[in-house]
Amino acid sequence: MPTHRRKPSGDSGFSLLEMLVALAVFSIAALALIKLQGASLMQTAELDSRLYSEVVVRNLAVEALTDPNPPSLGDSQGATSNAGRNFTWRRTTTALDGGELLKVDLAVKQATGPEVTLTVLRPVL
């Protein structure tokens, strides 16, 4: 009794062309995710740098507000460190009309990262 075997039809699996297209689509998606991850890491580093700069500028503002002697008029600058990082700062103090208030402009910058500024008003006392 002869057995008849059917030839397998073309519907039994993926063709080489279909596999190549699927791999190309997957590769494009993977490259987009890698680029997104890189951008996310850069943004995180910038935010970290900005956070520490903001802490330093606020500390300098508190010093300017709580020091018994008001800061001298004009420009001054210096360097400080916080959390193992080095910062440079700039302070400009001007007297406002009437002479009862001082305007203190502060700017802090790390070697890498954006400059952060803050302005406070302080009574002369």
CATH of residue 47's domain is 3.30.1300.30
Amino acid residing at 86: N
In a domain, 62, yes or no: yes
The verdict on residue 26 lying in a domain is: yes
- Polymer length in residues for the chain: 125
| Predicted confidence (pLDDT) at residue 9 exceeds the cutoff of 80 | no
Q: What angle do CA 21, 27, 31 make, to 5 degrees?
A: 150
Residue 63 lies in a domain: yes
CA–CA dist 27, 65 (Å, integer) = 57
Q: Is residue 30 part of a domain?
A: yes
Give domain status of residue 9, yes or no. no
Domain limits at 72? 16-123
Please provide the average confidence, as pLDDT, over all residues in the chain.
89
Classify strands 101-110 and 116-123 as parallel, antiparallel or unpaired.
antiparallel
Residue 10 placed within a domain: no
pLDDT attached to residue 26: 95
Asked whether residue 47 is assigned to any structural domain, the reply reads: yes
Question: pLDDT digits over 99-111, tens only?
Answer: 899 999 999 999 8
Whether 8 has a pLDDT exceeding 80, the answer reads no
Give 76's pLDDT tier (boundaries 50, 70, 90).
very high
How many domains, in total, are found in the chain?
1
Q: What is the CA radius of gyration of the chain?
A: 32
Cα 117 from Cα 8, distance rounded (Å):
74
Residue 8 lies in a domain: no
Q: Is 88 exposed, middle or buried (0-12, 13-18, 19+ CB in 10 A)?
A: middle
